[in-house]
Amino acid sequence: MTERFVCLVSDRRERAERLARGIALVLPCRVIEPGAALPPGAPAAFVVDIAADRAEAEGSAWIERLAALIRGSAMPCLYLARGNGTQNAAARRLFGDPVVVDPRGSVGIVPTLLRLVKEAQAKEAKAGAPEESRSDPRARVGAATRVVTRMFDAAAAGRPPSPTEAEEGTAIVLDTVSEIGIRAWLDLVWRHDILVYQHSLSVAGFAAAFAADLGFSRADRERLARAALLHDVGKALIPLDILNKPGPLTPDEMAVMRGHADLGADLLTRNAAFGPDILDVVRHHHERLDGSGYPAGLKAARIGDLVRLVAICDVHSALTERRVYRAPMTHAEAFAIMEAQAGQLDPDLLRAYRPVVARAAAGEPGHAVAPAAAGR
């Protein structure tokens, strides 16, 4: 059984060491400083000891990732108050509804932490979900988000993501989409606030559903979903002011943004576990059949099947997600645009993709996806 642990996030090293010793009496504890990568594994809870108002004002990518992970998970979170209401209010905005506790000693913190962890475990057990299997779909999406977070953290630090973690994330996507369907998967994924992670998980979910419809073997479904999960890893190396710009990009900014495809593929080449098919998707998922894509302007004959599949899932996901510069489209609206791009996207695969879009659109009143016309 994988050991669960408390993740203590602190910008005060000496106090963190004292507190970690107290927590370690009852639960394993791992300490990280702001900006550090999350430790591998599944946290049982978070204890946050940082200046929340300053972190909120700075708005770093790291604090945004941490906050979205905590808000989107079912894990308990304790915030150590720093003696003023401004800090506590900022903590609630960042982390959802953390339990605010007095940090003047671990004596009061540890019993509270232990109680919250036990309550969370009891809730899992009552729902009939073994803790280790993470059978609650919300918990699975939280686990997948943690995997994607660690992969992007590694990429941002100039390291290729862990192949083991890529496999773990792929398995979660395949199994969960198979069990609850693409519509429920999207509902859970879209609760998370870090859009690039949301996009990676959405594209992987669409790819998992598409592969199942096409009758792929488990091995081929894994290959496609893994490529989809990793396709945008190069965006970890794009400046946030470009990645999250609310208005149109300048030509120079667009050139930087488009560099994510080569950056991601070049990064993955440093680990032989990522084969040529994965590298092909990461580098070429923005190529189009008519040669209008990037980075190489490849035309139809030079664009592989895996790239064509992920390109369809990528476009669908991009059009239906909320973005800083526009509102999301319905799935029906998105598919109409995709059909109009038949010269860019593979038309045969696009027709085969229609049932995935229809299932994703379930629950969008008045926006059903029309069935395929006769002879199409």
User: pLDDT tens digits, residue range 2-61?
Assistant: 567 899 999 888 888 888 888 888 888 999 998 888 777 778 889 998 888 877 777 677
pLDDT band at 365 (very low <50, low <70, confident <90, very high): very low
Coil, strand or helix at 372: coil
Span 277-287, pLDDT tens digits: 999 999 999 99
Is residue 207 over pLDDT 90?
Answer: yes
pLDDT band at 364 (very low <50, low <70, confident <90, very high): low
Side chain identity at 302, as an amino acid letter? R
Evaluate whether 196 touches 243 at the Cβ level (below 8 Å): yes
More confident residue, 256 or 247: 256
Is residue 127 over pLDDT 70?
Answer: no
Cα 195–chain centre separation: 8
pLDDT for the residue 367: 43
Indicate the CATH number of 137-361 among 1.10.3210.10, 1.20.140.10, 3.40.50.300, 3.40.50.11810: 1.10.3210.10
Span 237-254, pLDDT tens digits: 998 889 888 889 999 999
Tokens of 327: 């509102």
pLDDT for the residue 13: 87
In this structure, what DSSP letter does residue 368 have? Answer: P
pLDDT for the residue 372: 38
pLDDT band at 373 (very low <50, low <70, confident <90, very high): very low
pLDDT for the residue 129: 45
The overall average pLDDT reported for the chain is 85
CATH number of the domain located at residue range(s) 5-126 in this protein: 3.40.50.2300
Instruction: Report how far apart, in Å, the C-alpha atoms of 236 and of each of 8, 193, 224, 232, 292 are.
Output: 24, 16, 21, 8, 25
Span 161-186, pLDDT tens digits: 999 999 999 999 999 999 899 999 99
* Measured distance CA(91)–CA(100) in Å, rounded: 9
* Measured distance CA(279)–CA(268) in Å, rounded: 7
Coil, strand or helix at 321: coil
pLDDT for the residue 197: 81
Q: For the range 213-222, what are the long-range contacts, defined as Cβ-Cβ under 8 Å and sequence gap of 24 or more?
A: 213/352, 213/353, 213/355, 213/356, 214/352, 218/174, 221/174, 222/167, 222/170, 222/171, 222/174
- pTM here is 0.68
pLDDT for the residue 118: 84
More confident residue, 85 or 296: 296
5-126 and 137-361 have identical folds: no
Is residue 327 over pLDDT 90?
Answer: no
* Domain edges within the chain: 5-126, 137-361
Of 187, 230, 190, 233, residue with least CA distance to 207? 230
Of 71, 209, 196, residue with least CA distance to 138? 71
pLDDT for the residue 126: 61
More confident residue, 263 or 88: 263
User: Could you give the percent of the chain with pLDDT greater than 70?
Assistant: 88
Evaluate whether 11 touches 34 at the Cβ level (below 8 Å): yes
Tokens of 317: 């996901």
Coil, strand or helix at 241: helix
